[in-house]
Structure 1
Amino acid sequence: MQKLIFTVGIVTFLFSCNNGDEPAPVVPLEAILVEDLAAPNDLIDRNSGQILEERPFQFFSLEQNQLVNENEDWDMAFKGTTIRVNSAKDVSASILTGIFEEVTEVPASAVFAKDTATSFAIPTGSGAGWYNYNSSTFTVTPIPGRVILIKTTAGNYAKLEILSYYKGNPPVDQINPMTTPSAHYTFRYILQTNGSTRF
């Protein structure tokens, strides 16, 4: 199983009242950074469109903060630009337009969806879900201000932002689609572990 690097940073600090007198600190939620999760797409013949090698999805547990096997409690699965959710375990997703740090709770208006036989909860295609594809530069870049909400296998909520599709998270102007390895996800997420809709 591929080794991933996780970096943790404190993003927010919340306070609650103690007996109505002084604010008492609450354990802060933590932002988790996942770097270079490799999830290569199928190898396809560019001329015929035939699949030469079918590659597996990479299954990730937000609750465990690691790659897991398909028969375990995974939340999201990655392959190429496609992201699946574990609908069999009631995992669902909602796409928001907003600033990651400013999304402090699950909006009442958020519509959560599951994968079906004909559609994905996180839509594929340029401009439809989490990324744009530039046909001039042949590059895939995350859509700015796009936040993905996930309801996990444990029934908890997470907010997630994809930062890069290329190994090493290079600046966009330094991506060479011929030489920069793609399908290496860098993303950050905050998981609320107590079932609350607040982050």
Structure 2
Amino acid sequence: MKKSYFIIIAFAMAGAAACSKDDDEKPDPQEPTITVQTVTNLAADTAGTGSYTLFSLEENKIIPNADSASTKWDIGFRSLNVIMNGGTSGPGATSGQIIDALYDTVMVAPADGYQVDAEGMMPIKSWYNYDFTSHLVTPLPAKVIVVKTSKGNYAKIKIYSYYKDAPENPEYTMPSRLISFHYVLNASGTREFE
């Protein structure tokens, strides 16, 4: 009798150990750290009010101007001007730079060279060409904006149109200040984009 009691306990313990072992082997589902986004027709002060349209790369959404003194936003657009939430433009620690490369070839964010906005010195400029004859704004294909957000995450951004619905052959009479861009955000704090 004692022998069968110990055998039953041994089987029960083995079964419990087997169940807990199976439970331990199941991976926890995790959110992806790299996200790829496309933003179209972001109104960059289309009314000419002088206000920036603030955008959170982390949340992939426009942030109300009432939150301009917060770290909820990463980057802001007004016509051709781009600001970051850091330095003289905001209370955050967002910094950035423009690199000369094609968007698809940028697999890793640079280790250094990031700057915050400063009086008279905005690091995110020269991403476009303005044709004085046709009055067209054309994003430069070999210019990529790379940003380190206030949370310490990296993003690469490619502005691909300044005109409504990103026409292939824009005309200066078309609605403008409607920025369209692609971006990749690595929310793990590492510099890789793949």
TM over 0.5: yes
Residues 119-176 of structure 1, C-alpha deviations (whole Å, 9 max, x = no match): 11212xxxxx20000011101010111111001121100011001000000013xx22
* Equivalent of 1:68 in 63, 73, 76: 63
* Cα distance in structure 1, aligned partners of 2:164 and 2:114: 30
* Cα distance in structure 2, aligned partners of 1:86 and 1:169: 26
Q: Percent identity?
A: 32
Higher helix content, 1 or 2: 2
* Equivalent of 2:98 in 78, 91, 95: 95
Bigger Cα Rg: 2
* Cα distance in structure 2, aligned partners of 1:184 and 1:27: 29
State the shift of 1:41 in Å: 5.7
Give runs of aligned pairs for residues 5-84 of structure 1, distance below 5 A: 27=32, 29-40=34-45, 43=48, 54-69=49-64, 70-72=68-70, 73-84=72-83
* Cα distance in structure 2, aligned partners of 1:82 and 1:28: 29
- Structure 1: gaps (5+ residues): 1-25, 44-53, 124-128
Q: TM-score, normalised by structure 2?
A: 0.75
C-alpha change, 1:98 and 1:39, in structure 2 (3 Å) is same
Residue correspondences, number: 155
State the shift of 1:195 in Å: 0.3
The equivalent residue for 1:138 is: 135
- Structure 2: gaps (5+ residues): 1-30
Asked if 1:188 is matched to 2:176, the reply is: no
Answer yes or no: is the 8 Å Cα contact 1:36–1:168 preserved in 2. Answer: yes
Runs of 4+ in 1 over 6 A off after TM superposition: none
C-alpha change, 1:114 and 1:41, in structure 2 (3 Å) is farther
Q: TM-score, normalised by structure 1?
A: 0.73
Higher strand content, 1 or 2: 1
* Cα distance in structure 1, aligned partners of 2:74 and 2:113: 18
Answer yes or no: is the 8 Å Cα contact 2:46–2:176 preserved in 1. Answer: no
State the shift of 1:118 in Å: 1.3
CA RMSD across the alignment: 1.8
Answer yes or no: is the 8 Å Cα contact 1:162–1:185 preserved in 2. Answer: yes
Please give the secondary structure, in 1, of the residue aligned with 2:180.
Answer: strand
